[in-house]
């Protein structure tokens, strides 16, 4: 919450700002877009993370604070975020593990092609 006291803005809840992924999802923002927006706001100096949250059983939300580093963005005096989000650099997980095997990749692509051809044929038959 901001209040105007003369010429200076006083932010009363800085470091306690919470906007969970669930709220973003409810507003129609998918996880990837929300994550990328937070990353960009951090990179450009508008926002920083005061406290990391955790999902799962504990359900602790990430707390953000408004920063004024953006004023120096694009200059040599610009400072990077204090706590940037840790990118997941683990390899061999999820889709990557499947598509790294050339035989399995070929099987998946052929199956996908066959499915698309079947859908195309069904659509033509309906006309």
Tens digit of each residue's pLDDT (9 = 90 or more) over 84-104: 777 767 666 777 777 788 888
- DSSP notation for 43-56: HTTSEEEEE--B-T
pTM of the model as a whole: 0.59
Looking at the structure of the chain, the number of domains it has is 2
Cα dihedral 62/63/68/73 (nearest 10): 0
Q: Are residues 20 and 77 in the same domain?
A: yes
Do 76 and 41 belong to one domain? yes
Q: Are residues 66 and 92 in the same domain?
A: no
Residue with tokens 């508008």: 46
Mean pLDDT of the chain: 82
Residues 57, 18 share a domain: yes
C-beta separation of 49 from 62 below 8 A: yes
Determine the structural domain holding residue 106 and report its residue range: 88-127
Same domain for 107 and 70: no
Q: Are residues 43 and 72 in the same domain?
A: yes
Based on the fold, state whether residues 3 and 44 are members of the same structural domain: yes
């Amino acid at each position: 919450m901001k209040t105007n006291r003369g010429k200076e803005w006083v932010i009363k809840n800085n470091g306690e700002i919470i906007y969970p992924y669930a709220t973003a999802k409810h507003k129609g923002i998918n996880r990837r877009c929300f994550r990328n927006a937070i990353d960009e706001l951090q990179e450009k100096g508008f926002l920083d993370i005061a406290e990391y949250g955790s999902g799962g059983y504990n359900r602790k939300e990430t707390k953000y604070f408004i920063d004024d580093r953006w004023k120096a963005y694009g200059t040599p005096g610009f400072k990077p975020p204090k706590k940037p989000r840790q990118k997941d650099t683990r390899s061999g997980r999820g889709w990557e593990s499947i598509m790294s095997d050339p035989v399995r990749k070929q099987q998946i692509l052929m199956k996908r092609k066959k499915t698309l051809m079947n859908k195309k044929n069904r659509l033509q038959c309906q006309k």
